[in-house]
Amino acid sequence: MRAQFRSRIRLVLAFVILVALMIIVRLYFIQIIHGDEYAQKADKQFASGGGGLFDRGAIYFTRKDETLISAATLSTGFLVAINPQTLGNPENAYAAITNVAPDAISRDAFLTAAAKKNQVYIEVAHHLSEEAGQSLSDKNITGVQVLRERWRQYPGRTLAAQSIGIVSYGLGDTLAGQTGLEATYDETLLRSGDSLYRNFFAELFSNVGNMLVAAKDAREGDIVTTIEPEVQTHLEDDLAKVSQKYASKESGGIIMDPRTGAILAIASNPSYDANVLQNVDPAILGNPFVEHVHEFGSIMKPLTMTSGLDAGVITPQTTYKDTGCITVNTATICNWDLKPRGVIPMKQIIVQSLNIGAAWVATQLGQDNFRAYFTKLFGQKTGIDLPNESGALLSNLTKPQQVGYDTAAYGQGIAVTPLQMIRALGAIANGGVMVEPHLASAVRLNSGIERAIDWGQTTPVFSATAARETTEMMTAVVDEKLQNGKAMIPTMSVAAKTGTAQLTNGQGGYYTDRYFHSFVGFFPSYNPRFIILLYTNDPQHVTYASDTLSSSFLDLVHFLIDYYAVPPDRGFTTSTSTASQATTP
C-alpha cells in the first residue's frame, strides 16, 4: 500500500513538473520571443499612448552658496481629450474648457477636432493647472476626458537655454534630449521604470544583474551644473544690451574659472524660451559656442606672444621695427591704423594691438613652431559636455605661405569656436596649462549618492613664466589703454585684450566694413578666478571692439568682484587699516 501511495505521489509530482515546464516554455515564447509583438498589440487597444506619465531627471544651476536651483524640471497638470463619437454638444464642451483655460484651444480648432467622428481620442488642450483640471473634471462632460499630464519645465525660461537644451520627440516616439545638456546626459536623465507593461518573466532571466545590484539607481540621476544663475542673468542682460544697441547678428559670452574649467555663465543672443518652442527659429536651437567657428581677431595676439616667449625666440625686452605695413607673399598686412611705430618692445604689440608686431613674432617662431603651438591650442575639440562640437579651421597652417601664419598671429585666416578660444586663452590665465571646460560638475544619482564628474585632465602648453609675462602685458592694456586708462581698477589687477576681425565675404575675401568684435579678460591678473570672453558678430555702425564690448566687460568685472567679494590684490598695503585707499574719478 505504501509503494502504491509513493508511486501515486510520484505520478502527481511528475504531472506538476510537466505542467510547470509547459507553463515556463509557454511564458518563454509569450514574454521573450513574442513579447514586443504582444506589447504592440496591447498598445493598439488603447486610444491614447500607454507610456504613462512622462518622467525625467532634473538639471540644476548652482548658486555661489552651493544652493541648487532647477534649470530643468517637471511640471504636473492636466490635458484635455475629447471623444468625438460620444461628445454631445461641442459648443457647450468648448465653452466649459475655455471657461477654465481661456487660451487652451481656438474655437475653430476645437470644432474641427470634434467633427472627426471616426476617431475616439483627440487631445485638444495641454498643460492645464491643477485647479483648472480639477474644475473641468468636476463638470463630468460626456465625451470630454481630463487626464493627468507631466511635462518638461524650464523655470529660468531663456536662462542658458541653448546650453541646457530641449527635450522633444526625435526619430522615435519617446521624448528625449535633443540639444545641450539634455542631449549629452540623456541616459542619466532618462527614466525607464514607469513602463505600463512589466515583463516579470523576461526580467527574471534577462535582468539578473538588476536583482543583485540596483544598476538603474547607479545610472539614473539628476545633473548638477556649474552655471551660477545670477551671473548667467547678468551676462545675458549685458549681451542683450550690446545686441540691441549695435543691432548685432549674434552676441555671446562665457565666464569660466580658468583653474578648473567650470563655466559659471554661458549666454548667447538671440536665444529662446525653452518652455515655448512653437515659433522658435530652428537655427538658434543649436549651441553657437561649440557649433560656430569665428575668426576672433586680435585676442589671438596674446597666444602668439606667449608662444614666442615660451619658445624663447623673444623676451619681453626684445624690440622690433614696426613699419605700419608689410608685404608677405604679395599680400599687404597693416596695423589697424596703418601707422608705423618705429622700434618698440614686445609689450606694445599687445597694448597697442599691432598686427605687424604679431606677424613679426610669428616669423621669429617659424612655421613649424607656430603650427605646433596652435595645433596644441586648437587642434583638438575641447571635450566639453555639449553635443555637436565643431573643430577649428586651421588649414592655413598646413600651407607653406608665410602670410597664413602672419595673419593667424593676429586672429585672421583661422577660425575656432568660442569655447576653444576661451580654453586656449585660459592657459595664459592658468600658468600655461589648458583645462577642460565643462558645464556639469556632478550627477546626483537616484540612490542618493552624488558622483562628481572628473574634469581633471590638463594640457600644459606654455611655461608659467611665459604666461605671466603675457599677463603683465594684458594687464597694461586695462591699466593704460582701455577707456584711456579710466578702466583701471586701483585695487584689482585685470588683464584684457580686445579683438576686431573683418568678416569673410564668402568669396575668399573680407568685407571692409563688417566686423566681428571680441573681448577677453581675466582677474585678478596673477591669480585669476574668472576669465570672460565676449563677442558680437556684425555690429552696425561701429568699428572697434573697444567701443562695443568694453563697458559690458567692465560691468561684468565689477559685478563679479562685488558678488563674489573678490579681495583686492593691489592698491592696499598690509600694514594699514584705513578703509579708503584709492579713488578713481
Partner 1 sequence: MHMDLPRSARNSALQQNMQRRPTLSFSPLSLCYGIFGVLLVTYIGLIAVVMSYAALTVEFSQSVKNDEAAVATLEGQYLAGVAQVTGTNFVAEGYAKPTATVFVRAESATALR
- Binding residues (CB under 8 A) for partner 1: these are 53, 55, 58, 69-70, 73-76, 130, 148, 150, 153, 155-157, 159, 229-230, 233-234, 237, 489-491, 565, 567-568, 571-572, 577, 579-585
CA distance 116 to 120: 9
Contact 219, 187 (CB under 8 A): yes
Q: How far is the CB of 361 from partner 1 (least distance, A)?
A: 36
Select from 372, 377, 367 the least CA-distant residue to 460. 377
Q: Report the residue number, 122 or 532, with the smaller CB distance to partner 1.
A: 532
| CA max distance for the chain | 124
CA distance 264 to 438: 9
Q: How far is the CB of 557 from partner 1 (least distance, A)?
A: 13
Q: How far is the CB of 336 from partner 1 (least distance, A)?
A: 31
Q: Report the residue number, 117 or 198, with the smaller CB distance to partner 1.
A: 198
Select from 157, 158, 159, 152 the least CA-distant residue to 63. 159
Q: Report the residue number, 460 or 567, with the smaller CB distance to partner 1.
A: 567
Q: Is 550 helix (H, G, I), strand (E, B) or coil?
A: helix
User: How many residues in the chain?
Assistant: 585
Q: Report the residue number, 49 or 52, with the smaller CB distance to partner 1.
A: 52
Q: Report the residue number, 76 or 401, with the smaller CB distance to partner 1.
A: 76
Q: How far is the CB of 571 from partner 1 (least distance, A)?
A: 7
Q: How far is the CB of 219 from partner 1 (least distance, A)?
A: 19
Q: How far is the CB of 155 from partner 1 (least distance, A)?
A: 4
CA distance 189 to 57: 4
Q: How far is the CB of 296 from partner 1 (least distance, A)?
A: 27
Select from 1, 150, 136 the least CA-distant residue to 74. 150
CA distance 296 to 506: 17
Q: Report the residue number, 422 or 488, with the smaller CB distance to partner 1.
A: 488
Residue 141 CB neighbour total at 10 angstroms = 19
CA distance 319 to 484: 24
Q: How far is the CB of 577 from partner 1 (least distance, A)?
A: 8
Q: Report the residue number, 152 or 497, with the smaller CB distance to partner 1.
A: 152
Q: Report the residue number, 69 or 190, with the smaller CB distance to partner 1.
A: 69
Contact 72, 180 (CB under 8 A): no
Residue with cell 492636466: 78
List Cβ neighbours of 474 (8 Å cut-off, separation of 6 or more): 302, 350, 428, 495, 496, 497, 521, 525
Q: Report the residue number, 419 or 561, with the smaller CB distance to partner 1.
A: 561
Q: How far is the CB of 439 from partner 1 (least distance, A)?
A: 18
CA distance 380 to 509: 27
C-alpha cell at 507: 568669396
